[in-house]
Amino acid sequence: MTDLPLAGVVVVELSDSASAPFAGKILAELGAEVWKIERPTGDSARGWGPSQWRGCGAAFHALNRGRNYLEIDIKDRDQLATLHRLIAECADVFLHNLRPGSAGKYGLDADSLRVTKPDLVHCEIGAFGATGPLNSLPGYDPLMQAFSGIMDITGEADGGPVRAGVSIVDFGAGMWAVIGILAALNRRHVKHTGASVDASLLETAITWMSVGIAGYGADGNPGRRHGSGVAFIVPHRAYPTTDGDLIVSCANDALFARLAAALDHPEWGTDPRFATNAGRLENRDEIDRLIGERLATGTRAQWRERLQAAGIPVAPVQTTPELVAHEQTRALGIIGAPEEDELGVVGLPLSFDGTRPPPLHGVRGIGADNDRLDAVLPVRA
């Protein structure tokens, strides 16, 4: 695609780990020119394992493609001055996730930068948020899953708290940062003024708890763990078959009646204990036992075919290899690489006019594009 939505927008990204790099990845996939700034030792994710590809962690490849890579030590006065020039002379957006309170020490906070560049969109992704008694503390994804209560309601009913297997808070904070940046760019286009955008891991995690917080406000119920299920719909969880687990979801009573018929127990659909979602919630253990016993008599594929034919939403619990190999994943073309010998990674989950933005070029070494600064920032007389 030659007409990506953010073509012509320049982003300077001073980032490490996951949240801000994920935001930078999205902006790059949308067409922005992104300059990634790394300290001399590099982004922490370059060393994350165990999976490695061409000398650095696979996680770094997943989150940091499509950039110009600059090595700048912001603790060095001359190098910091170069970064300030890059922002002042080239950037539409400055994005960072420095340790809380650090940006001001280097004049990289919004107030300082927008004195000389009032139309700059400045975005900071913090840990606990920009205000409050904990705003100066650092934080990572699992801390916020714990602090927000996500871990308290995740896991099996008789087990301990469980962290989601992917970095939902890091990636979510990156998404919120991008949403804020896009809104600020739109306002700049209309009103010719910049903006200070603040996103944080904790605010993101609290947002993911929206339904649980509303439930607690309504009746004081703090929520509990339901394994693969949810608090407010039954059935809406995984059940074992003879060769794997199958998620079955009936979000209304008509679907449950069809499920009951497909499982050869149409009487469940009229049983006062199960006919309504309220009844099924009250008798969750019993209906889950009955459904589980029935599904345990066949394979995952057999039940999936039968239930799908009856119009019941189902999905197998797949492994990563199964997902990557599945014909639906291949049809979407969401996993790809710009060249055959490159690592294939997940692209943007959006299409424009029926076309997904192409895969971003692979990552390069720390400071690989430092020599380009001479062209971008010519020596002053």
**Tens-digit pLDDT profile for residues 7-16:** 999 999 999 9
Angle (nearest 5°) at CA 251 between 285 and 214: 85
Cis peptide before 235, with omega less than 30 degrees from 0? yes
pLDDT at residue 101, rounded to an integer: 87
Q: What is the DSSP letter of 359?
A: P
pLDDT in tens, 17-41: 999 999 999 999 999 999 999 999 9
- What are the C-alpha distances in Å from 353 to residues 3, 5, 186, 356, 357? 11, 12, 21, 8, 10
Neighbours of 12 (CB within 10 A): 25
Q: Given pLDDT bands bounded at 50, 70 and 90, which one contains residue 196?
A: very high
Q: Above 80 in pLDDT, residue 215?
A: yes
Tokens for 286? 């019993």
With pLDDT > 70 as the criterion, what percentage of the chain qualifies? 98
Average pLDDT over residues 325-340: 94
Nearest residue to 175 (alpha-carbon basis) of 350, 353, 358: 350
Residue 235's pLDDT band, with cuts at 50, 70 and 90, is very high
Indicate the CATH number of 236-316 among 3.10.310.30, 3.30.1540.10, 3.40.50.300, 2.40.50.140: 3.30.1540.10
∠ CA 45-26-351, rounded to 5° = 140
Residue with token string 């990289």: 108
Residue 379, pLDDT > 70, answer no
- Which tokens belong to 76? 């060095």
**pLDDT given at position 381:** 44
CATH class of domain segment(s) 10-208+333-376: alpha beta
3-class secondary structure, 112: helix
Average pLDDT over residues 89-105: 95
Domain boundaries, the chain: 10-208+333-376, 236-316
Q: Which of 286, 242, 238 is nearest to 265 (CA)?
A: 286
Reported as a pLDDT band with limits 50, 70 and 90, residue 1 is low
Residue identified by tokens 């009844």 is: 279
Q: Is the pLDDT of residue 156 over 90?
A: yes
| pTM for this entry | 0.93
Quick check: helix, strand or coil at residue 198? strand
Average pLDDT value for residue range 41-48 = 95
